[in-house]
Structures are given as C-alpha cells and as structure tokens.
C-alpha cells in the first residue's frame, strides 16, 4: 500500500509540473529563480533526511521534486522573473543563514524545523512577485503539489515529526499560495486563461 501511494504521489508530481514547464517555456509563467534555488536545495536535503530516517516510498516524491526544482531554477535564470527586489535578496540571505544554522545542528527535528522556516523564506520572492503578477504563475501546479505531499505523508513508513513536518508545511504553503493567486486574479481582473 505504501509503495502504491509513493508511486501515486510521484506520478502526481510529474503531472503537476507539465503545465508549469509548458507555461514557463512559452513565457506565460515567470518563476522567481531565488525561490526555486531554495526549494531545490531544501527538498534535496529533506529527501536525504527522509531516506536516512527510513521514510520509504513516501520520500520518492521529495527526491523527484528536488530534481524538477533545480531544473526550474536553471531555466528561471534565463526566462524567469527579472524584477528582483531588495526583500527578495533579504529572503535569500535569511534562507542562507538558516541553512548554516541547520548545518550546525545535530538534532534531526531542529534541522527539519529550520528547513521548514527556510522554505517559507524561500517562498517569499515568489509570493511577492505573484501578488503583483498573479497570472505569471501556474496555480494548478501548486495545487497538485500540495495534494501530492498529502499522499506522500500517508505513504511514509516511519511517521515521526522529522519525516512528516516538512511535507506538511509544503501542503500548507502551497495551499495558501493557491488561495492568494485565485483571490488576486479576481481582484486584478481577467488577463488570460492560464492553469
């Protein structure tokens, strides 16, 4: 059962990134490179942590997400958001400082709490950009991303705060982001149909 759920979550991840990558390559979606760098790094670290804690199939989606996040980061350097605000740099520096603190800790739970905080800091540039340009993100990708991590949590073989806290925070952050996008799209009016 856990293996099937791990496969389902990973397939959902694959499917969720298809519209995002399509929209990114066509210029409709303009990812913020800072966020994707932080997310790629964090999900790679979380994947290693989950594997070392015996997470099993529930970790597969985290590993896949790390790979895709690095791909989007590299692509965003060329085609992504070019309006980099001072607050974006502060967010990136804050995430870097938190990563140093994470590296210095030997307690896995504290490390996961720090990773969760870093992820939230990494989300800030995308959140700020999308508040002003809500049609430059692909909402369906973030919605499915939240759902895939719900399934990934259920698929965890070893359910401890160290294995479930980070994916649970991703469910929350993706959900809040999608709600903000939908509200802002309604507030700014119809621009273009985009998933």
Residue 95 is assigned to a structural domain of this protein: yes
Summarize pLDDT for 137-163 with one digit per residue, the tens. 999 999 999 998 898 898 888 888 888
State both tokens at 33: 């490179």
pLDDT band at 191 (very low <50, low <70, confident <90, very high): low
Evaluate whether 181 touches 194 at the Cβ level (below 8 Å): no
* Res 99 pLDDT > 80: no
Q: Rounded to an integer, what distance in angstroms lies between the CA atom of residue 95 and that of residue 116?
A: 10
Q: Rounded to an integer, what distance in angstroms lies between the CA atom of residue 142 and that of residue 48?
A: 23
Indicate the number of domains in the chain: 1
Residue 70 is assigned to a structural domain of this protein: yes
Evaluate whether 166 touches 17 at the Cβ level (below 8 Å): no
Residue 109 is assigned to a structural domain of this protein: yes
| Burial class of residue 30 in the structure, from the number of CB atoms within 10 Å of its CB (0-12 exposed, 13-18 middle, 19+ buried) | buried
Summarize pLDDT for 8-65 with one digit per residue, the tens. 988 998 999 999 999 999 999 999 888 898 888 888 877 887 787 777 887 888 899 9
- Helix or strand (DSSP H, E) at 190: none
Range of the domain at 40: 2-188
Q: Rounded to an integer, what distance in angstroms lies between the CA atom of residue 19 and that of residue 71?
A: 15
Residue 195 is assigned to a structural domain of this protein: no
Per cent of the chain over pLDDT 70 is 97
Query: Quick one: pLDDT at residue 9?
Result: 85
Residue 194 is assigned to a structural domain of this protein: no
User: In angstroms, what is the C-alpha Rg of the chain?
Assistant: 16
Evaluate whether 156 touches 58 at the Cβ level (below 8 Å): yes
């Amino acid at each position: 059962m856990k293996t099937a759920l791990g496969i389902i979550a990973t397939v959902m991840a694959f499917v969720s990134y298809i519209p995002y990558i399509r929209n990114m390559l066509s210029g409709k979606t303009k990812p913020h490179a800072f966020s994707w760098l932080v997310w790629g790094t964090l999900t790679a670290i979380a994947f290693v942590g989950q594997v070392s804690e015996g997470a099993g199939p529930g970790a597969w989606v985290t590993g896949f997400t790390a790979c895709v996040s690095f791909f989007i980061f590299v692509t965003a350097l060329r085609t992504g958001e070019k309006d980099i605000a001072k607050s974006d740099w502060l967010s990136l520096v804050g995430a870097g400082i938190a990563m140093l603190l994470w590296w210095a800790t030997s307690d896995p739970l504290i490390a996961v709490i720090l990773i969760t905080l870093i992820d939230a800091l990494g989300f800030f540039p995308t959140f700020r950009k999308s508040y002003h340009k809500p049609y430059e993100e692909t909402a369906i990708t973030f919605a499915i991303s939240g759902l895939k991590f719900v399934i990934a949590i259920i698929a965890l073989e070893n359910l401890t705060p160290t294995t479930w806290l980070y994916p649970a925070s991703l469910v929350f952050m993706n959900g809040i982001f999608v709600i903000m996008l939908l509200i802002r799209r309604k507030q700014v009016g119809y621009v273009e149909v985009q998933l």
